[in-house]
C-alpha cells in the first residue's frame, strides 16, 4: 500500500536518531469509514480486532494517501529491522484565546519573527498550529520547511551570545503564553494505567482470543470441566500479568511525580522574578536558583554563577559534579560546539539535585530552560522504559512459525474430518463441531502458560541470588551470551581509590617516593597545596562531599575545609568561598590557607581539571591535575594497577579578575610538581569469575575510562589476558594538515623491573619483530581516541581488530555504546556489566545489561544485582541457558502432546468416534497440565560448559527429535488401532471382553452375525477408543520423561523431585486403570474392559516406543560429537559474521601486523556493517 507515494506524503521523523521513523500522510474518507463500520458490525467485532493487531491495515482501510500538509492521520513505521507500524491523529492548537486576551494578531512581532520553530509552526491568519504526539513527544508542522519537527527544546543552532542576548533577561509574558500552548506542560506525566485498560489490552492478545474460541466450543460440547480449568488458568495468568504491569506503572509514576510539582523562581522580562509552578516552564525561561537541595524540574543551561549537582539519577553514582556557566563568546558557532570541552558541564539536567548554588558577580545563579517534559534527560530515560526497544530474538519468531505449523496441521485434519463425517451422513452441526475440535487439539491452549512458568521459575531463582529482572523475556537471551563487556572501576576493581604515595619532582627530576603507609607527614609545599585544593569537593552541613578519589586525596594532606568568613578577606573574593587550611597537626607550613576562587571542572574531552586559588596574604596560583603520561616513570606504577595523576601549577597575576581568565591560558606553561599514586585493587570475585567465563569460551572485554596501561595490567591480573598471551597496542591518529590518518601496531612485552626492596612488573614496548609472532593468542588494546579514528578512517580494519580487541581504555559513555553495537553487528550476543556510572547507554544497548548499582539509572537496565560484584554474570548465563533449554523442552513436549491427541482422534474419527470429555480431561488436566507446571522446575547446572544451547526451534536436532517422536507415536497408534480390530474378541456382542478371563482366547467363539460395534451405554465406548486412549495417555508421560533434559545445561532430572513424583503417580494411576477391573471406573471414563493379554500388548507397545525414543534421544539427538561430525561431513560453516572473520584471519599470514604504521588510504578487506538481523546465528 505504501509503495505508490504522492509527492510530500512521505518523510523521516527524528532523522539519524535512535528512534528514527518513517511518516506517511493520509486523509480519512467518510465512505471508507462507513464501510469499515458496517464490516465491524457484520463480523461481530472481528474486523476491529484485526485492525487493533494490524494498525497499518486500519489506516489503509479508512483513509487515502495524501501529502503530510493535508493529512489528518499519519502512519508511522520504525526504520529498524522490526518495521513496527502505528498511527496518530493530527491535532490542532488554537491561539485565538491569546489573540483576545493579549491582543495577538497575525502581524504581531512575536508571530512574524520566523527565526524560531515555534513561530514557523503558527499558521496565519487563523493562528493555528498542527501537531502530532508520538511516544510522549510533540511534533509541530513547520510551515516554512514543510515537515514535522520536535518541539519542547531550544534550537541547536543557537550560539552562546544569542542565548545570553535573547534569553538572558527572561521571556515576556506573551512569549511564555505562546510557548506554553505550543510546547505543552513541563511535566513527565506517567499516569498510573487503570486496571481495566491493562485488562483489555491483555485480553485482546491473540492467544487469549483463541482461548475464548476454544472455551466457547468446549462449552457447546459440554466439555465444561477443562473449559473451566483453562478459564481459571487464564484468569490467574492475566491477573498476575496485570498486577505486575500495574506495579511497574505505580513505581514509575512515583519515580517521576515529585519533579512535576515544584515551585521555581522565574525571571519575566518586564515583571521581574516571580514564583511559578514548574509545570508552566517553557524553553527559554530564565530560572533563578537559590538555596540548596533543589530538584531540577527541567534541563537548563547555566549562564551565571556555578552549581554543585548530584547527578546520581543519570550516572548511577552519587558524586557531586560542579557546573560552570556558559560564557558569552563572539563566535556564531552553536553553543555545544564553541569549545572542545564537554558541553554538559554547563547543563543542569532534569531530575538531578542542585546541592549548592554559588552566585557570581551579579549576585544570582541564573539558568535558561533548555528542554522541558519528555525532551529532558530524565524524560528520555523514562521514555526508554515506557517504549523499550523490541528484542530481535529468533526463538520468539520461531515460536510463531511453530504455532503456524500446528495451525496448518490442524487445517489438514479439518479437511479429513469434513470428508469422513460428511460421507458418514452426520448432521451438519456435528460435522462443524468435530472439524473445529481438531484446531483446539492440534494447537494446545496451555502452551503459553507452560512457557511462562519456566521463565517465572528462573526469575525466582535469580531473585534468591539477589538478581532482579524487569524484563523476564530477556532471561532466555542470557542463555545465548558469548561476549561480556565489563566496566573496570567499581566492577572488576574496588570502587574506592586509596592514596599509595607521591613522587615529587624538581629541577633534578623525580625524587624519592613518599609512601602514605609510612605514616610520615606529607612535605608541605606546592605539591601538597595542589592536592589540598585541586578538586571538586564541597562542604555541606559540615561534611565534605564529592568524588571518592578527590576525598581520599584531600584527606591525605591532613588539611581542613571551611567556608570563608570575616577572618579571611581577599580583594574581589565572593562571600562563602571555599577555603582550605592546614590543621594544627601538620606543623609549620608556608601558607595559612588557600581560597578556591574558580574551578575549571574535570573534562572527559580535555582529561584535566584546574583551579585558581589565592593564598592568604600571598600569591594567586593555578593548580592542575591530569592523568599522567610520563612513560618511563609512570609504567613502574601503572603496570601494578595503580592510578597515576600528574600535578602542576603556575603563578598568576593578582590584579586580573578570575572570571576574565580563559581556560586555555590558565592551563598553559605550568610547572610540573610530581605524581600522585592511587591504588585500585581487584575485587576478590573478579579473577575466579573471569576464569569461569573464559573456560566456557565466553569472550570477556574490558571497557573503561581509565588509563590504557593500567587497564592492561588489570586485564593481566584478572586473567582476562592469561600468561603467555601477547598484548598489541593499536594507536590511531587523526589526519593533521597534509598527512592522512595513521594507525600503528606495537607489541607490549611484560618484563621485570627490580628495585632495591621489591620486584615490580612494568610494561615495555618491544622494538624488534618477534620470531614467533603468530604463536599463541593475542589481544588488542586501544584507547577511545584510537577507536574513534578507526571508526572514521579504518572501517575495513575495525572488525578485524574487534575480533581480538580485549582492552578498550579512555572510552567515553557514547563510545561504550558504539562499541557494544559494533560487537552486535559481528553477530555476538553481547552482555554488559557496569556499576551504573556512565554505563547507562551501553547497558541499554547490549542484549543483556546488568547493573551493579541500585541508583535510579539502573531502571534502564534489564537486570540489577544487589551484590556489587560480577558473580552475578555466570549465574545469569547459567539460568538463561537453563531457561532456554526448558523452553525447548516445553515446545517439544507440547508439540508431541498435541500430535498424540491429534493422531488418536483422527484415527477414531475414521470410525466416527472420538474421545469422551472425561478422557480428554484426564489427558489435558491430570497429565499434561501437571507435567507443564513441574517439568520447568529443574535448576541450572552449576557448571558452565564451553558451548551454548541451540538458539532456534528450527535447529536440526530439535526438528529431528520432534519428527522422530511424532512418527513413533503415529506408528504405535496405527498398530494398536489395526491390531485391536483383528482380535478374536473384537466382534463379541458384549459390553466388554472381561467375562472371558479364565478361558483361552483361541477358544472364544464369535457370533456369526456381526453386531453393532461394542454396543454400550456410551456413544464413545469401543475397543478402539480404549486402546487409543491408553496408548496416548501413557505415551504423554513417557514423552515428558524423554524430553526432560538435565545436563549439560540443567540439573539432572532426578533432582526435580516434584516432577519425578508426579510422573510416578501418573504412571501408577494409568497402570491401575489399565489392569484394575472396576466397572464403575470404566463406565466413568467410557472405557471397555479388555483381556489381560491385550493390556500386556498395550504395555509392550508403549515400552517399545519408550526404548526406541529414549535411545534415539540419547544416541543421536543429544550426541554433540555426532552433530559436529555431520557438520564437518557436509562442510557446514556458521554464517555468523564473527565466525566468518575468524576463518578469514586464520588464513591471513600477515595478521596481526607488528611494528608497522599504515595510513588511511591503505587497501584493506572491505567491510560494511551488516544489518542487526543476523545477530543470532548459531554457533
Stretch 490-513: mean pLDDT: 79
Q: CA–CA separation, 403 vs 442, rounded Å?
A: 9
Contacts (Cβ under 8 Å, ≥6 apart) of 164:
303, 326, 328
Q: Which of 514-523, 947-956, 1093-1102 has the lowest mean pLDDT?
A: 514-523
Which is it for the CA torsion 681, 485, 711, 551, positive or negative? negative
Q: Which pLDDT score is estimated for 641?
A: 61
Q: CA–CA separation, 719 vs 488, rounded Å?
A: 13
The per-residue pLDDT for range 276-285, each reduced to its tens digit, is: 888 899 999 9
| pLDDT band for position 313 (cuts 50, 70, 90) | low
The per-residue pLDDT for range 166-189, each reduced to its tens digit, is: 888 888 888 888 888 888 899 888
Cis peptide before 309 (omega within 30 of 0): no
Q: Beta partners for 91?
A: 131
Q: Which pLDDT score is estimated for 753?
A: 38
CB 825 within 8 A of CB 1172: yes
Which residue do the cell numbers 571555599 mark?
578
User: Looking at per-residue confidence, does 1021 or 922 come out higher?
Assistant: 922
For residue 572, pLDDT beyond 80:
no
| pLDDT band for position 369 (cuts 50, 70, 90) | very high
Q: Which of 135-144, 291-300, 866-875, 894-903 has the lowest mean pLDDT?
A: 291-300
For residue 433, what is its C-alpha cell? Answer: 463441531
Q: What percentage of the chain reaches a pLDDT higher than 70? A: 86
Q: CA–CA separation, 167 vs 159, rounded Å?
A: 12
For residue 4, pLDDT beyond 60:
no
User: Looking at per-residue confidence, does 656 or 610 come out higher?
Assistant: 610
Separation in Å, CA 715 to CA 637, 690, 712, 721, 781: 15, 10, 5, 5, 10
CA-based radius of gyration for the chain: 37
114 DSSP 8-state letter: T
Degrees (nearest 5) of the Cα angle 395, 212, 458? 35
Q: Which pLDDT score is estimated for 1040?
A: 93
Rounded (10°) angle between helices 872-909 and 956-981: 30
Rounded (10°) angle between helices 30-42 and 55-62: 120
CB 343 within 8 A of CB 335: yes
| pLDDT band for position 571 (cuts 50, 70, 90) | low
710 DSSP 8-state letter: H
Q: CA–CA separation, 323 vs 602, rounded Å?
A: 10
SS3 content of the chain, % helix, strand, coil (to 5): 45, 20, 35
Tally of residues, the chain: 1179
Question: According to the per-residue pLDDT averaged within each range, which of 460-474, 611-625, 786-800, 1101-1115 is highest?
Answer: 1101-1115
487 is catalytic: yes
Q: Which pLDDT score is estimated for 1003?
A: 42
Q: Which pLDDT score is estimated for 1021?
A: 82
DSSP H helical segments within 913-1019, as ranges? 917-921, 930-934, 956-981
Q: CA–CA separation, 574 vs 580, rounded Å?
A: 15
CB 1157 within 8 A of CB 744: yes
Q: Is 665 helix (H, G, I), strand (E, B) or coil?
A: helix
Instruction: Please tell me which residue in 310, 487, 839, 924 is annotated as part of the active site.
Output: 487
| pLDDT band for position 754 (cuts 50, 70, 90) | very low
Contacts (Cβ under 8 Å, ≥6 apart) of 624:
530, 534, 608, 609, 610, 611, 647, 648, 649, 667, 670
Separation in Å, CA 897 to CA 357, 486, 923, 1037: 69, 44, 9, 9
The per-residue pLDDT for range 371-426, each reduced to its tens digit, is: 998 888 888 878 877 887 776 666 767 777 888 888 888 899 999 989 988 888 88
| pLDDT band for position 576 (cuts 50, 70, 90) | low
For residue 607, pLDDT beyond 70:
yes
Q: CA–CA separation, 802 vs 488, rounded Å?
A: 19
Q: Which pLDDT score is estimated for 567?
A: 56
Other C-beta atoms closer than 10 Å to the C-beta of 740 total 15
Q: Which of 149-158, 433-442, 518-527, 920-929 has the lowest mean pLDDT?
A: 518-527
| pLDDT band for position 906 (cuts 50, 70, 90) | very high
Other C-beta atoms closer than 10 Å to the C-beta of 439 total 19
Closest CA to 440 of 923, 67, 958, 1051: 923
Which is it for the CA torsion 690, 691, 692, 697, positive or negative? positive
CB 352 within 8 A of CB 316: no
Helix (H) or strand (E) holding 241: helix 224-257
Contacts (Cβ under 8 Å, ≥6 apart) of 1139:
827, 1133, 1177, 1179
Q: Is 10 helix (H, G, I), strand (E, B) or coil?
A: strand
Contacts (Cβ under 8 Å, ≥6 apart) of 987:
1006, 1007, 1010, 1011
811 DSSP 8-state letter: -
Q: CA–CA separation, 193 vs 949, rounded Å?
A: 38
Which is it for the CA torsion 917, 921, 922, 923, positive or negative? positive
CB 939 within 8 A of CB 872: no
Q: CA–CA separation, 1001 vs 1096, rounded Å?
A: 14
For residue 614, what is its C-alpha cell? Answer: 589565592
The per-residue pLDDT for range 1093-1152, each reduced to its tens digit, is: 999 999 999 999 999 999 999 999 888 889 888 888 888 888 888 999 988 888 888 888
CB 896 within 8 A of CB 1039: yes
Q: Which pLDDT score is estimated for 1174?
A: 32
Closest CA to 528 of 618, 617, 590: 590
Q: Which pLDDT score is estimated for 57?
A: 94
Contacts (Cβ under 8 Å, ≥6 apart) of 707:
627, 638, 643, 644, 809, 810
Q: CA–CA separation, 199 vs 893, rounded Å?
A: 30
Stretch 793-818: mean pLDDT: 87
Degrees (nearest 5) of the Cα angle 1150, 1152, 1155? 95
Q: Which pLDDT score is estimated for 1173?
A: 32
Q: Which pLDDT score is estimated for 309?
A: 84
Q: Residue 114: what are its φ and ψ, rounded to 5°? A: -100, 30
Q: CA–CA separation, 1051 vs 967, rounded Å?
A: 29
Stretch 824-845: mean pLDDT: 81
Question: According to the per-residue pLDDT averaged within each range, which of 78-82, 544-548, 1066-1070, 1135-1139 is highest?
Answer: 1066-1070
Amino acid at each position: 500500500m505504501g509503495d505508490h507515494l504522492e509527492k510530500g506524503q512521505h518523510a523521516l521523523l527524528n532523522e539519524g536518531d535512535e528512534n528514527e521513523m518513517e511518516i506517511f500522510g493520509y486523509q480519512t474518507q467518510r465512505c471508507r469509514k462507513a464501510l469499515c463500520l458496517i464490516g465491524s458490525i457484520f463480523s461481530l467485532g472481528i474486523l476491529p480486532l484485526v485492525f487493533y493487531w494490524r494498525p497499518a491495515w486500519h489506516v489503509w482501510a479508512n483513509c487515502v494517501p495524501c501529502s503530510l500538509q493535508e493529512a489528518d492521520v499519519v502512519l508511522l513505521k520504525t526504520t529498524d529491522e522490526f518495521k513496527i507500524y502505528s498511527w496518530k491523529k493530527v491535532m490542532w492548537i488554537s491561539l485565538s484565546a491569546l489573540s483576545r486576551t493579549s491582543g495577538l494578531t497575525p502581524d504581531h512581532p512575536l508571530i512574524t519573527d520566523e527565526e524560531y520553530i515555534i513561530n514557523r509552526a503558527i499558521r496565519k491568519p487563523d493562528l493555528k498550529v498542527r501537531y502530532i504526539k508520538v511516544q510522549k513527544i510533540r511534533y509541530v508542522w513547520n510551515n516554512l520547511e514543510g515537515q514535522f519537527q520536535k518541539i519542547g527544546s531550544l534550537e541547536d543552532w543557537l550560539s552562546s551570545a544569542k542565548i545570553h542576548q535573547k534569553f538572558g533577561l527572561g521571556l515576556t509574558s506573551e512569549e511564555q503564553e505562546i510557548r506554553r500552548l505550543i510546547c505543552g506542560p513541563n511535566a513527565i506525566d506517567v499516569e498510573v494505567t487503570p486496571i481495566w485498560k491493562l485488562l483489555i489490552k491483555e485480553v485482546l492478545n491473540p492467544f487469549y482470543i483463541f482461548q475464548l474460541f476454544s472455551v466457547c466450543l468446549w462449552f457447546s460440547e459440554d466439555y465444561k470441566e477443562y473449559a473451566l480449568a483453562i478459564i481459571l488458568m487464564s484468569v490467574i495468568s492475566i491477573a498476575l500479568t496485570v498486577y505486575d504491569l500495574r506495579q511497574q506503572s505505580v513505581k514509575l509514576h512515583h519515580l517521576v511525580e515529585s519533579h512535576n510539582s515544584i515551585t521555581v523562581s522565574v525571571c519575566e522580562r518586564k515583571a521581574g522574578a516571580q514564583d511559578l509552578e514548574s509545570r508552566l516552564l517553557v524553553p527559554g525561561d530564565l530560572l533563578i536558583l537559590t538555596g540548596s537541595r533543589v530538584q531540577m524540574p527541567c534541563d537548563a543551561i547555566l549562564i551565571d554563577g556555578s552549581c554543585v549537582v548530584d547527578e546520581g539519577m543519570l550516572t548511577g553514582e552519587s558524586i557531586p559534579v560542579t557546573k560552570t556557566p556558559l560564557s558569552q563568546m563572539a563566535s556564531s558557532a552553536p553553543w555545544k560546539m564553541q569549545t572542545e570541552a564537554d558541553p554538559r558541564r554547563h547543563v543542569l539536567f532534569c531530575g538531578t539535585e542542585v546541592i549548592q548554588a554559588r552566585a557570581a558577580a551579579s549576585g544570582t545563579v541564573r539558568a535558561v530552560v533548555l528542554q522541558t517534559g519528555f525532551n529532558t534527560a530524565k524524560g528520555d530515560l523514562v521514555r526508554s522504559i515506557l517504549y523499550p526497544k523490541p528484542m530481535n530474538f529468533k526463538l520468539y519468531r520461531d515460536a510463531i512459525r511453530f504455532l503456524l505449523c500446528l495451525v496448518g496441521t490442524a487445517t489438514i485434519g479439518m479437511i479429513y474430518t469434513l470428508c469422513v463425517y460428511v460421507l458418514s451422513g452426520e448432521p451438519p452441526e456435528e460435522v462443524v463441531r468435530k472439524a473445529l475440535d481438531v484446531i483446539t487439539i492440534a494447537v494446545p491452549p496451555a502452551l503459553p502458560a507452560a512457557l511462562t512458568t519456566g521463565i517465572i521459575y528462573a526469575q525466582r531463582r535469580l531473585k534468591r541470588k539477589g538478581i532482579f529482572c524487569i524484563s523476564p523475556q530477556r532471561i532466555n537471551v542470557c542463555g545465548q551470551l558469548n561476549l561480556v563487556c565489563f566496566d573496570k572501576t567499581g566492577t572488576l576493581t574496588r570502587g574506592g581509590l586509596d592514596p599509595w604515595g607521591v613522587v615529587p619532582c624538581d629541577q633534578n627530576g623525580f625524587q624519592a617516593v613518599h609512601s602514605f603507609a609510612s605514616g610520615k607527614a606529607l612535605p608541605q609545599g606546592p605539591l601538597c597545596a595542589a592536592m589540598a585544593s585541586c578538586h571538586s569537593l564541597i562542604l555541606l552541613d559540615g561534611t565534605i562531599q564529592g568524588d571518592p578519589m578527590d576525598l581520599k586525596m584531600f584527606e591525605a594532606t591532613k588539611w581542613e575545609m571551611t567556608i570563608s568568613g570575616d577572618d579571611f578577606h581577599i580583594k574581589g573574593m565572593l562571600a562563602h568561598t571555599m577555603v582550605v587550611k592546614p590543621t594544627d597537626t601538620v606543623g609549620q607550613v608556608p601558607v595559612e590557607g588557600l581560597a578556591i576562587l574558580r574551578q575549571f571542572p574535570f573534562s572527559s574531552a580535555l582529561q584535566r581539571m584546574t583551579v585558581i586559588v589565592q593564598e592568604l596574604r600571598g600569591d594567586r596560583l593555578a593548580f592542575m591535575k591530569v592523568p599522567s603520561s610520563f612513560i618511563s616513570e609512570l609504567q613502574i606504577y601503572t603496570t601494578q594497577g595503580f592510578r597515576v595523576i600528574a600535578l602542576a601549577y603556575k603563578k598568576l597575576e593578582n590584579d586580573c579578575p578570575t572570571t576574565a581568565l580563559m581556560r586555555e591560558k590558565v592551563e598553559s606553561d605550568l610547572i610540573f610538581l610530581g605524581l600522585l599514586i592511587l591504588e585500585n585493587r581487584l575485587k576478590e570475585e573478579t579473577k575466579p569469575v573471569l576464569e569461569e567465563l573464559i573456560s566456557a569460551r565466553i569472550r570477556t572485554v574490558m571497557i573503561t575510562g581509565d588509563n590504557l596501561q593500567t587497564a592492561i595490567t588489570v586485564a593481566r591480573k584478572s586473567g582476562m589476558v592469561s600468561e603467555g598471551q601477547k598484548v598489541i597496542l593499536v594507536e590511531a591518529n587523526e589526519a593533521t594538515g597534509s598527512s592522512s590518518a595513521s594507525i600503528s601496531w606495537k607489541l607490549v612485552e611484560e618484563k621485570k623491573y627490580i628495585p632495591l626492596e621489591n620486584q615490580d612488573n612494568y610494561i615495555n614496548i618491544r622494538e624488534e619483530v618477534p620470531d614467533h609472532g603468530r604463536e599463541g593468542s593475542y589481544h588488542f588494546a586501544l584507547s577511545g581516541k584510537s577507536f574513534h579514528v578507526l571508526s572514521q578512517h579504518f572501517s575495513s580494519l575495525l572488525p578485524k581488530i574487534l575480533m581480538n580487541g580485549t582492552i578498550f581504555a579512555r572510552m567515553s559513555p557514547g563510545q561504550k555504546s558504539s562499541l557494544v553495537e559494533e560487537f552486535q553487528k559481528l553477530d555476538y550476543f553481547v552482555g554488559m556489566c557496569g556499576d551504573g556510572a556512565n554505563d547507562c547507554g551501553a547497558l541499554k544497548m547490549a542484549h543483556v545489561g546488568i547493573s551493579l548499582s541500585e541508583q535510579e539509572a539502573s531502571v534502564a537496565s534489564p537486570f540489577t544485582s544487589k551484590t556489587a560484584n560480577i558473580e552475578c554474570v555466570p549465574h545469569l548465563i547459567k539460568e538463561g541457558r537453563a531457561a532456554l533449554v526448558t523452553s525447548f523442552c516445553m515446545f517439544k513436549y507440547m508439540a508431541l502432546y498435541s500430535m498424540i491427541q491429534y493422531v488418536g482422534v483422527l484415527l477414531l474419527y475414521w470410525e466416527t468416534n472420538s474421545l469422551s470429555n472425561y478422557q480428554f480431561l484426564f489427558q489435558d488436566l491430570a497429565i499434561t497440565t501437571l507435567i507443564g507446571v513441574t517439568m520447568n522446575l529443574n535448576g541450572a547446572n552449576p557448571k558452565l560448559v564451553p558451548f551454548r544451547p541451540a538458539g532456534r526451534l528450527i535447529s536440526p536436532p530439535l526438528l529431528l527429535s520432534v519428527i522422530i517422536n511424532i512418527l513413533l507415536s503415529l506408528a504405535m497408534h496405527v498398530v494398536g488401532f489395526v491390531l485391536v480390530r483383528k482380535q478374536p474378541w473384537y466382534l463379541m456382542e458384549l459390553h466388554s471382553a472381561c467375562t472371558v478371563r479364565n478361558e483361552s482366547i483361541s477358544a472364544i467363539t464369535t457370533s456369526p452375525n456381526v453386531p453393532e460395534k461394542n454396543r454400550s451405554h456410551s456413544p464413545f465406548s469401543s475397543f478402539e477408543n480404549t486402546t487409543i486412549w491408553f496408548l496416548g495417555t501413557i505415551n504423554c508421560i513417557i514423552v515428558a520423561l524423554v524430553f526432560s533434559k538435565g545436563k549439560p545445561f540443567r540439573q539432572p532430572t532426578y533432582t526435580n523431585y516434584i516432577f519425578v513424583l508426579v510422573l510416578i503417580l501418573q504412571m501408577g494411576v494409568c497402570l491401575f486403570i489399565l489392569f484394575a477391573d472396576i466397572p464403575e471406573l470404566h463406565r466413568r471414563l467410557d472405557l471397555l474392559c479388555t483381556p489381560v493379554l491385550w493390556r500386556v500388548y498395550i504395555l509392550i507397545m508403549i515400552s517399545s516406543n519408550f526404548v526406541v525414543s529414549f535411545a534415539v534421544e540419547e544416541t543421536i539427538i543429544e550426541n554433540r560429537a555426532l552433530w559436529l561430525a555431520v557438520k564437518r561431513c557436509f562442510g557446514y560453516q556458521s554464517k555468523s559474521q564473527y565466525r566468518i572473520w575468524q576463518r578469514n584471519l586464520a588464513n591471513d599470514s600477515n595478521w596481526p601486523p607488528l611494528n608497522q604504521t599504515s595510513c588511511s588510504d591503505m587497501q584493506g578487506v572491505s567491510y560494511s556493517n551488516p544489518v542487526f538481523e543476523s545477530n543470532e546465528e548459531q554457533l
